[in-house]
Amino acid sequence: MEYSDRLKKLPVQFFASLVEKVSKAVAEGRDVINLGQGNPDQPTPPHIVKALQMAAEDPKTHKYSPFRGIQELKNAAAEFYYKQYGVEIDPSTEVAVLFGTKTGLVELPMCLLNEGDLMLLPDPGYPDYLSGVVLANVNYETFPLKAENKFLPDYNAISSNIKEAAKLMYLNYPNNPTGATADKAFFEETVAFAKEHNITVLHDFAYGAIGFDGKKPTSFLEVEGAKEIGVEMYTLSKTYNMAGWRVGFAVGNAKIIEALNLIQDHLYCSLFPAVQKAAAAALTDDQKCVEELVARYESRRNVLIEECNKIGWKAEAPSGSFFAWLPVPSSFTSESFADYLLEKADVVVAAGNGFGEYGEGYVRVGLLVDEDILVKAIERIGKLNLF
């Protein structure tokens, strides 16, 4: 029995190898502080859990869900986008329910591209974008996200032949791994660029709720014309600490939404209806829990940057997401520095090169532990006298 060529070509799961290193250190009995993960550390708010419990007790939720999800969740997504961003969404034609947005991100190239077509991906970027490339058997080019351009792409630097060949482009702001955010002017530039070159845009809005210093992250769909050329994917994993619930949605261009719904007609029979009802409650109920969560991450960010400054580790404070993107000392590569911190300080960080070529020279640190643990981790690193 042979695995298919497509399966053999799937990229090595970067986070799986990171977990393996951490597990080995923990098994040795070491006091490991894990700042390399991307898993929210807080529980799902109680009112959302209660909504699930109540829905799960209703025998109607024990049956198959409608293939394309329950209307209640689609209505909630539309209501959420109007309240949060002033964007009007038709819940019947412009919402696709997803098994977490990772699924949608992997599915979309199979929906819109033919074998050999070209798509554009950010570098550094979320590693699982490449899974969609392989499963769709398409080609890709990357565009660099550099500090000197505030980790935004420079569309003028993309060669003419790539601009003309590309059919699909992924963006992600607030950004994983850099913590950068994008403003409305950037998205206006993006829409103009996409229209000029006939490129479809997917904006991965996974960290859409998490912006700092009083600045709310901008939705791509807030820009005039965005819905004509693209969609946005929103997950409940980060906003509501629902990572294990695997629920998200795509909104925007009706033709793209139909494509996502169509492929999912053949792959799934949608999510457990009780989970969908709880997700609808999360989106439409009081959002105070989200405000409190963002304040928690901002406080952690401030502590992290302050502690880094104390040991001479100079870094820019992220403007969004729950990650910090920290420079590596010149005598190390990203991977050797991450390995060194695990070996000598029992501190785990994610090596930047795992996110792409332009991630080299950085490590990603998660704001997903309490402030006293962040202080302890940076104190350990400080004792290594690297800065």
Q: Where among 239, 256, 284 does a domain terminate?
A: 284
Question: Cβ-count burial of 260 within 10 angstroms (0-12 exposed, 13-18 middle, 19+ buried)?
Answer: buried
In a domain, 248, yes or no: yes
The whole-model pTM stands at: 0.96
Q: Where among 232, 256, 284 does a domain terminate?
A: 284
CA distances from 74 to 261, 352, 363 (A): 13, 36, 38
3-state class of 25 per DSSP? helix
User: Same domain for 313 and 192?
Assistant: no
CB within 8 Å of 164: residues ≥ 6 apart: 197
Helices 288-310 & 371-382, crossing angle to 10 degrees? 20
User: Same domain for 26 and 169?
Assistant: no
Q: How far apart are CA 150 and CA 207, in angstroms?
A: 17
User: Same domain for 135 and 187?
Assistant: yes
In a domain, 12, yes or no: yes
Could you write out the DSSP letters of every residue in 210-275?
Answer: -B-TT-PPPPGGGSTTHHHHEEEEEEHHHHTT-GGG--EEEEE-HHHHHHHHHHHHHH---S-HHH
In a domain, 387, yes or no: no
Could you write out the DSSP letters of every residue in 181-210?
Answer: ---HHHHHHHHHHHHHHT-EEEEE-TTTT-
User: Same domain for 141 and 183?
Assistant: yes
In a domain, 74, yes or no: yes
CB within 8 Å of 371: residues ≥ 6 apart: 299, 300, 303
Please calculate the CA angle 274-126-362 and round it to the nearest 5 degrees: 135
User: In the prediction, which pLDDT does 69 show?
Assistant: 96
User: Same domain for 28 and 108?
Assistant: no
3-state class of 203 per DSSP? strand
The CATH number of the domain where 318 resides is what?
3.90.1150.10
Range of the domain at 33: 5-44+288-382
* Domains contained in the chain, number: 2
User: In the prediction, which pLDDT does 17 show?
Assistant: 76
User: Same domain for 86 and 109?
Assistant: yes
> pLDDT 10s digit of each residue in the chain, 387 long?
999 999 999 987 777 778 888 888 889 999 999 999 889 999 999 999 999 999 999 999 999 999 999 999 999 999 999 999 999 999 999 999 999 999 999 999 999 999 999 999 999 999 999 999 999 999 999 999 999 999 999 999 999 999 999 999 999 999 999 999 999 999 999 999 999 999 999 999 999 999 999 999 999 999 999 999 999 999 999 999 999 999 999 999 999 999 999 999 999 989 999 999 999 999 999 999 999 999 999 999 999 999 999 999 998 999 999 999 999 999 999 999 999 999 999 999 999 999 999 999 999 999 999 999 999 999 999 999 999
Reading the block at residue 326, the tokens are 């920290």
Residue 93 in contact with residue 222, Cβ under 8 Å? Answer: no
User: Same domain for 141 and 88?
Assistant: yes
